[in-house]
Chain A
């Protein structure tokens, strides 16, 4: 069982920094801010290598970027304050599906209802970060660094990969974007690809391998140059093999032809292709709905967005099938939830507490986890849903029970809350 209490990580925590300082430094380092200080981590973080083949769950992290409105997905229908705060855009009780006496699912999530009923799709309500942060960029930075109050600059998934002993970029792939997933930033190898089919070196030939020449030219180059070059040359072989045969999703699964659908389809390919995947990151953007949120019917903004999300997730679970999903846990994260009260533009401003969605064979689904704080004025945090579950506690339980990581402290330092029963032990 790999243990993450490594010296290098402790080094990171030695200096405690205030949140303000961490954010200030990150902001000063450039527009993105997010990637400042990585070089330091490259120097100090040690990797713990696990022997043998990884047998834990493939952890799929789906980032709902822009601020997901968990209150519309997992609707607190039993809380009258919800309907009072959203006269124009609340989802009427009669339209809700699944759920229980307290919550109901948005009707656009219908493709996921079978999985809800089968107990492989579930949710945690009122989850989020330890402190409110309503700026997209610094909230995303905090979310993916997942170590508030420390000077750690790596992403939490990078620290996990280090702990699990990842050695090849094919073990951690972010699909759908050229931009590396911030959550994977750090020394552990990881790969960003737009798609499997597009990951090929043009002009590379058997008798004249361009990749070999490039490997020689990059040998000894600074990490920021040589790291990606090495990852390209070593990953090309795998994608070449996967792309060689056309892919037919199983179980009649139909992925929506959008960014998320295509990305999840490729994640399924990587899993089925036994490429050694430990974790995958996929993004779904455009959740930042300050205006024209719309009611729960086709053609309305949030409805259609949720429908596409549900179609993609359902296709993914269908494609892998119950047997495949036994080794997969998918979890959604978002930088913040949205304000309880709708604004003057029929939309929702940035908020705090949120819902996390869980999909997988080991998920304890068909129910909403977490302690519900209530939406009454006195329970809110500056007008927003309070957080009763640290999102890291949810992921930590998955890491312990599904990914075989005994000690999650070095991935998530200083998590005060724990969850129990979000997933089953393997």
Chain B
């Protein structure tokens, strides 16, 4: 991969590169043998601006395309990397429909105690609904994508019974607070948050009986990866004893009595850990050491490259970004800037495949639907639709976060769920409550084209920023029993009640699946 980037990219080396990313049909089925094998790049518009929108946002919208056309790639990226400067009033207003998601741990607990809030999943579900809404309607798209990235990296399953009172606080004060900050700060915040301490059992870990769950995942998943030994796990677990949750308040507490003293050695980190009073400080020092460890740097930038560039991360880019991460002491914005301005990124169009969550969120964005006029029924319905496709935000159960490579999602069952979601959403069957244009065909294709081929062209330009090859245009017009040159009448069902089926078929196609 590195080699092919270095030299001028011939078609041959591009194909080889794409093969390495799993995006070339290696063994065409006999029925397909006659058809030329295509690459992921053949399905997306060859346009640097649209490429950036497909990767750094939850999917292009008419407005975001207009915006990047106006600003250009550099200014658009600068703006996204400074989210505080992006007005987002509509989305902020939408957030007030999920009031529980902004409560503190104390507020949740006192409401439950007072009987004004039912003990259960309501808060956590509101957090999931809020995340879905932000992914679709926030203007701070890259920020929201990175919130999702970190939520998976430091996964605490939402909803899950144990974190009923604190998961929304974790989202706000650990993930969102540090999303564009330093990873070392986020890691330390997570280690002192009741959500993480509960999820990975550290709250129950004592000097008499250390629980290794958090110590192991801290090393394996949160920081250095599989370079640790069993001794490192035991030492980390011992040093983390005492980081616990106060039974009465539900808040983080450092418990002197639970802390195991005595020297610890974790990879190259050593600490005398002589007193229980100094235990918390020693644990934080270990977290700083781990956050800035070269293996952590490599692991996190690799995940970022998998997220934004390609399933098989180009080694050259990983090396470059690892240096940026370490030079900036785990500050993430410089890493993102280097990533999105790299030649490896530019050369990666079409090499990623939308995951179920991205796919469904991008569907709503592509057709430009608005949230419920009031209330949250539509948003909730969409959340459950995403859940049934296998990827409700933050809902992954194991601590490793959702997988982020295409093969992990290449299940026929998952694909069918997405196909079904497209038609449900576009036709307004489910959710019913989103704000949809009076005339969807008019909204998406403008003035009615004269032919069926013209209709497919216009819709493809709107949805994908490109037109389709003749064979695929023909496949779509044939669905209506027509050819590309058949005349289109304004009363035809293809632009009437069956128009959503045409949109859905196009969203079902590889032109939408590839990003």
A349–B205 Cα distance when bound, in Å, is 11
A52 at the interface (CB under 8 A from B): no
**A179-B390, A345-B209 known; A220-B32 Cβ under 8 A:** yes
Give the CA-CA distance A48 to B388 in the complex, in Å.
Answer: 36
* Closest A residue by C-beta to B509: A217
Q: Do B412 and A232 have beta carbons less than 8 Å apart?
A: yes
B211 adjacent to A349 (CB under 8 Å): yes
Closest partner residue, chain B, to A218 (CB atom):
B510
Please judge, given known A-B contacts A137-B400, A218-B509, whether A180 and B410 are in contact too, CB under 8 Å. yes
Q: In the complex, what residue of chain A is closest to B219 when comparing beta carbons? A: A135
Produce 1/0 per residue, A338-349, CB < 8 A to B. Answer: 000001110001
**Looking across the interface, which residue of chain A has its beta carbon closest to that of B403?**
A32
The answer to whether B32 and A229 touch across the interface, beta carbons within 8 angstroms, is no
The reply to whether A210 and B209 form a contact with Cβ atoms under 8 Å apart is no
B483 interfacial by beta-carbon distance below 8 Å:
no
Q: Which of B27, B38, B220, B411 contacts A179 (CB 8 A)?
A: B411
Interface positions of A from 107 to 166, Cβ below 8 Å from B: 134-138
Closest chain B residue to A42 by CB distance? B26
Chain A positions within 8 Å of B508 at CB level: 210, 214, 217
Q: Are A349 and B415 neighbours in the complex by a CB distance under 8 Å?
A: no
Whether B416 pairs with A213 at a CB distance below 8 angstroms is no
Whether B510 pairs with A30 at a CB distance below 8 angstroms is: no
Chain A residues with CB under 8 Å of B37's CB are 220, 222
On chain B, the residues within 8 Å of A201 by CB distance are 416, 419-420
- Give the residues in chain B near A214, CB-CB below 8 Å: 419, 505, 508-509
Q: Assess whether B410 is in contact with A227, with CB atoms less than 8 Å apart.
A: yes
B455 within 8 A of A: no
Selected contact of B411 from candidates A28, A192, A213, CB within 8 Å: A192
- Bound: A30/B419 CA distance, A: 26
Closest to B504 in A: A203
A221 at interface by CB-CB < 8 Å? yes
Q: Which residues of B contact A345 (CB under 8 A)?
A: 201, 204, 209, 211
Distance, CA A193 to CA B417, complexed state (A): 10
Cβ–Cβ contact A349 & B213, under 8 A = yes
Query: Given known contacts A31-B404, A187-B27, is B472 in contact with A221 (CB within 8 Å)?
Result: no
Cβ–Cβ contact B226 & A24, under 8 A? yes
The answer to whether A178 and B411 touch (CB under 8 A), given A42-B27, A134-B216, A224-B22, is yes
B57 to chain A, nearest CB (A): 21
Interface centre among A136, A210, A219 (most CB of B within 10 A): A219
Q: Is A291 located at the chain interface by the 8 A CB criterion?
A: yes
B330 sits at the interface (CB 8 A): no
A388 CB within 8 Å of chain B: no
> Contact: B415 with A232, CB < 8 Å?
yes
**Stretch of B127-135, B183-191, B337-345, B474-482 with 4 or more beta carbons under 8 angstroms from chain A:** B474-482
A179 contacts B414, C-beta separation under 8 Å: yes
Residues of A within 8 A of B416 (CB): 199-201, 232, 236
The distance in angstroms between the C-alpha atoms of A180 and B35, with both chains bound, is 28
Q: Which residues of B contact A203 (CB under 8 A)?
A: 423, 501, 504
Question: Distance (Å) between the CB of A106 and the closest chain B CB?
Answer: 24
A385–B231 Cα distance when bound, in Å, is: 19
User: How far does the Cβ of A101 sit from chain B's closest Cβ, in whole Å?
Assistant: 33
Report the minimum CB–CB distance from B318 to chain A (whole Å): 8
Query: Which of A33-41, A250-258, A267-275, A319-327 forms part of the interface with chain B?
Result: A33-41
Q: Which residues of A contact B480 (CB under 8 A)?
A: 208
Task: Give Cα A349 to B226, complex, Å.
Answer: 19
Check B47 for interface membership: any CB of A closer than 8 A: no
A291 touches B201 (CB 8 A): yes
Contact, CB under 8 Å: A138 / B479: no
The one of B21, B209, B402, B410 in contact with A343, judged by C-beta atoms closer than 8 angstroms, is B209
A240 to chain B minimum Cβ distance, whole angstroms, is 12
Known: A179-B390, A224-B353. A29 touches B306 (CB 8 A): yes
Is B292 in contact with chain A by the CB < 8 A criterion?
no
Q: Whose C-beta in chain A lies nearest to the C-beta of B298?
A: A28
- Docked pose: A225 CA to B32 CA in angstroms: 13
Contacts of B35 in A (CB 8 A): 219-220
Q: Does B225 contact A (CB under 8 A)?
A: yes
B458 at the interface (CB under 8 A from A): no
Q: Which residue of A lies closest to B201 (CB)?
A: A290
Chain A residues within 8 Å of B397, by CB? 285
Chain B 71-94, CB-CB to A under 8 Å as 1, else 0, gives 000000000000000000000000
Question: With contacts A30-B405, A31-B303, A290-B211 known, is A382 near B230, CB below 8 A?
Answer: yes
Query: Are A230 and B29 in contact, CB atoms less than 8 angstroms apart?
Result: yes
Asked if B505 contacts A232 (CB within 8 A), the reply is: no
A210-B505 in contact (CB<8A): yes
Q: Contact check: which of B205, B206, B408, B479 meets A34 at CB < 8 Å? A: B408
| Interface residues contributed by chain A, number (CB under 8 Å) | 70
B327 adjacent to chain A (CB < 8 Å): no
Contact B204–A30 (Cβ < 8 Å): no
B408 x A43 contact (CB < 8 A): no
Q: With CB as the reference atom, state the residue of chain A lying closest to B481.
A: A208
Nearest Cβ in chain A — how far from B472, in angstroms?
6
User: For residue B514, which residues in chain A have a CB less than 8 angstroms away from its CB?
Assistant: 225
* Measured CA separation A145–B392 after assembly (Å): 27
Partner of A35, one of B27, B225, B403: B403
Known: A222-B23, A222-B24. A27 touches B299 (CB 8 A): yes
Interchain nearest-CB distance for B162 vs A (Å): 10
Query: Among residues 152 to 191 in chain A, which have CB atoms less than 8 Å away from a CB atom of chain B?
Result: 169, 177-180, 185, 187, 191
Contacts A29-B405, A382-B230 given; indicate if A224 touches B410 (C-beta within 8 A): yes
By the criterion CB–CB under 8 Å, are B475 and A213 in contact? Answer: yes
Residues in B whose Cβ lies below 8 Å from that of A29: 302, 306, 311-313, 405
Contact of B19 among A39, A134, A191 (CB under 8 A): A39
Interface pair A228/B415, CB less than 8 Å apart: yes
Name, among A39, A218, A285, A290, the residue most crowded by chain B CB atoms within 10 Å (CB to CB). Answer: A39
Query: Is B403 in contact with A24, judged by CB distance below 8 angstroms?
Result: no
* Residues A202 and B423 in contact in the complex (CB < 8 Å), given A36-B405, A344-B211: yes
A55 at the interface (CB under 8 A from B): no
CB-nearest residue of chain B to A285: B397
Interface residues of B in 365-407 (CB under 8 A from A): 388-390, 397-407
Cβ contact of B390, chosen from A43, A177, A199, A210, cutoff 8 A: A177
Q: Is the CB of B479 within 8 A of A135?
A: no
At the interface, yes or no: A243 with Cβ under 8 Å from chain B?
Answer: no
Q: CA separation between A232 and B410, bound complex, in Å? A: 11
Contacts of A34 in B (CB 8 A): 403, 408
- Whether the Cβ atoms of B405 and A32 lie closer than 8 Å is yes
* Shortest Cβ gap from A241 to chain B (Å): 16
B390 touches A135 (CB 8 A): no
User: Is the beta-carbon distance between A231 and B400 smaller than 8 angstroms?
Assistant: no
| Distance of A291 Cα from B212 Cα, bound (Å) | 12
Q: Is A232 touching B216 in the complex (CB atoms < 8 A)?
A: no
- Residue with the highest number of chain B CB atoms closer than 10 Å, among A33, A35, A235: A35
- A187 cross-chain contacts in B, Cβ below 8 A: 27
Any chain A CB within 8 A of the CB of B172?
no
Bound complex: CA of A180 vs CA of B406, how far in Å?
12
Closest to A210 in B: B505
Contact B40 A222 (CB under 8 A): yes
The proximity string for B residues 159-172 relative to A, scoring 1 for CB distances below 8 Å and 0 otherwise, is: 00000000000000
Chain B residues whose C-beta falls within 8 Å of the C-beta of A193 in the assembled complex: 412-413
Q: Kindly state whether residue A295 has any CB partner on chain B within 8 Å.
A: no
A-side contacts of B216, CB under 8 Å: 134-135, 350
Residues in A whose Cβ lies below 8 Å from that of B227? 24
CB-defined contacts of A136 to chain B, threshold 8 Å: 398-399
Chain A residue at minimum C-beta to C-beta distance from B420: A202
Which residues of chain A are within 8 angstroms of B437 by Cβ–Cβ distance?
none
B509-A39 in contact (CB<8A): no
4 further A-B contacts with Cβ under 8 Å, apart from A134-B216, A136-B399, A214-B505, are A30-B311, A39-B407, A42-B26, A137-B400
14 A-B contact pairs sorted by A residue (CB < 8 Å)? A28-B313, A29-B306, A135-B220, A214-B508, A220-B37, A223-B25, A224-B406, A226-B25, A226-B510, A229-B510, A232-B412, A290-B213, A344-B208, A382-B230
The 3 closest A-B pairs by CB, nearest first: A344-B209, A32-B403, A178-B390
